[in-house]
Amino acid sequence: MSDNAAVRSRVLALAIPVIAQNLLETMLGVVDTALVGQLGASATAGLAAANQIVWLVIAMLSAISIGSAVLVAQAAGAGDRRRVDQLARQSLVWSGIIGVPLAILGAFGAHQIVGIFGLAPDVARIAGDYLAVTMGTSVVLVGLFIGSGIVRGVGDGTTPMVVSGIANVLNMGLSWALIYGVAGFPALGAVGSAWATVIARSIALLLLLAVLWSGRRGASIRGRHGWRPDARIARGILGLGVPAAIEQFLSSFAFSALLLVVARLGTSALAAHQLSFTALSTSFLPAFGFAIAATTLVGQSIGARRIADGAIAARLTVQWATGWMLIVGIGLFSFAEAVLRVFTSDPAVIATGAATLRVIAVAQPLWAFTIVFPGALRGSGDTRFPLIVNVCSLWLSVALAAGCAALGAPLALVWLAFIATTPIAALVYWRRWRGTVARISAAESMAPAHATEPPG
């Protein structure tokens, strides 16, 4: 099998399960929203408000797991199984250390956090109760993200997908039972959805820990040694993960700021904005899957001192992500009105949204570059550059969009201003990646001959 074919096989083996897992998580959110929606507008609004905070926490925690995934991938690529196992144990130890303060904050401060939004009392109560359960059990959430990152780091994307699939199925049944009080379960209302998710995630974490304990997937946590917290390893994990977490936080905040900008244009424009973005959200899922594959394979290639394989992986992941987003973009551009009619029958919203959807659809292929190349850079250990470029690009976009909105521009032109920086960011990422490959290739060529192959 040629190098290209071998790398292609590894890319798909990692990316496809991640894409499937992302789709499952999306469907899970849809099901929970639909179930809670039957309780009335206050319950729906409360769930939406709490989830704004939960999604932000999830984005930050999943980003921190990048540090574990990158270090594990590099150790796995080098064939250093002892290092892999050590990193796996320490990653889980530090997930607990990170998760406990977050859980305390959530359990005792959830209602105060929700109070910032100035919600109606009944909505605030539901949102606070939901957030207290979700954040109060965040040790489970942190462990699940870190554990999945470890397993993906050794090249196994299937196990996290299967575990997530089991959790999603359990969550759907438990949500129905705990929200409405079915089959002897208590009727907890909207907060029942939170408890269902916690139970399902706890079972998923136990399954993931069982896989890691067995050691059959390339990493093992079996044994009593290596569990004492090691600050040196923590610095390595957090040194890579914290910049990624800050990037996720500031990026999410930028999109929230864009929402405030659009809100000034009126109710129809705000509704069209939300529906257009919702319709496009699934197009990003494959790109995120390919970005995770790029992170893992680049990390492994650096550990094995074979950056050429990482370069092939990055090229393939960008090509496939671009192809997917191009196809989706063409479809959304061509059938914009039909897509929006799935969500609304309001003619004004459809007209505004269709023009906006077409503008956003044009940027789809370029977004593949700004999603996947940062993933490749993270695999090389460079998490600060994506932080700087992504945050600067997004916030400049928000400023441009705000300027257009202040001049009374329609929603489509506001979004055109928002995506104006995307080609520049794509070019910057591409050049950075080329420079990274050249630098690491030069370092490999100067290394001793026996170091060009992974040990053992």
150 and 223, same structural domain?
yes
Is-contact 219 158, C-beta < 8 A?
no
Question: Nearest to residue 455, comparing CAs of 84, 147, 149?
Answer: 84
**What is the average pLDDT value for the chain, to the nearest integer?**
86
Digit-coded pLDDT (tens) for 375-420 = 999 999 999 999 999 999 999 999 999 999 988 899 999 999 988 9
To the nearest whole percent, how much of the chain has pLDDT over 70?
96
Q: Does one domain contain both 4 and 110? A: yes
> Which of 6-20, 153-167, 320-334 is predicted least confidently?
6-20
pLDDT at 51 over 50: yes
Tell me: do 103 and 47 sit in the same domain.
Answer: yes
Establish if 8 belongs to a structural domain. yes
Which tokens in the block code for residue 95?
Answer: 């997930």
- Position with higher pLDDT, 283 vs 94: 94
Burial class (CB in 10 A: 0-12, 13-18, 19+), 113: middle
Could you tell me if residue 124 is inside a domain? yes
- For residue 437, being part of any structural domain is answered with yes
- Does 450 score more than 50 pLDDT? no
Q: Specify whether 118 is located in the same domain as 13.
A: yes
By CB atoms closer than 10 A (0-12, 13-18, 19+), residue 56 is middle
Give the pLDDT band of residue 447 (cuts 50, 70, 90). low
Establish if 234 belongs to a structural domain.
Answer: no
The residue out of 229, 248, 276 marking a domain boundary is 229
Domain that holds residue 47: 1-229
Number of domain units in the chain: 2
Domain assignment present for 235: no
Q: Using one digit for the tens of pLDDT, what is the confidence trace for 194-251?
A: 999 899 999 999 999 999 999 888 899 988 888 999 989 888 888 888 898 888 888 8
Residues 245 and 329 reside in one and the same domain: yes
Separation CA 247–CA 241 (nearest Å): 10
Q: What is the pLDDT of residue 150?
A: 92
Q: What is the largest CA-CA distance in the chain?
A: 69
State residue 212's pLDDT score.
93
Whole-number Å distance between alpha carbons of 57 and 179:
24
The answer to which of 80-84, 248-252, 317-321 has the lowest mean pLDDT is 248-252
Q: Residues 280, 412: one domain?
A: yes
Judgement on whether residues 172 and 145 belong to the same structural domain of the protein: yes
Last residue of a domain, one of 229, 254, 271: 229
Contact 145, 68 (CB under 8 A): no
300 and 378 both lie in a single domain: yes
Comparing 163 with 25, the larger pLDDT belongs to 163
SS3 454: coil
Rg of the chain (C-alpha set) = 22
My answer on whether 353 and 246 are in the same domain is yes
**Which of 287, 286, 312 has its CA nearest to residue 300?**
312
Q: Say whether both 283 and 319 belong to one domain.
A: yes
| Domain membership flag for residue 405 | yes
pLDDT digits (tens, 9 = 90+) for 253-284: 888 788 778 878 887 888 888 777 776 777 78
Task: Identify whether residues 48 and 114 lie together within a single domain.
Answer: yes
Q: Is residue 225 part of a domain?
A: yes
Are the beta carbons of 129 and 191 closer than 8 angstroms? yes
CA distance 153 to 92: 14
- Measured CA to CA, the distance from residue 106 to residue 187 in angstroms comes to 23
With DSSP H G I counted as helix, E B as strand and the rest as coil, what are the percentages for the chain, rounded to 5?
85, 0, 15
Please work out, in degrees rounded to the nearest 5, the angle formed at the alpha carbon of residue 286 by the alpha carbons of 283 and 291: 125
Domain boundary residue among 196, 229, 262? 229
Amino acid 1 reads: M
Do 350 and 456 fall within a single domain?
yes
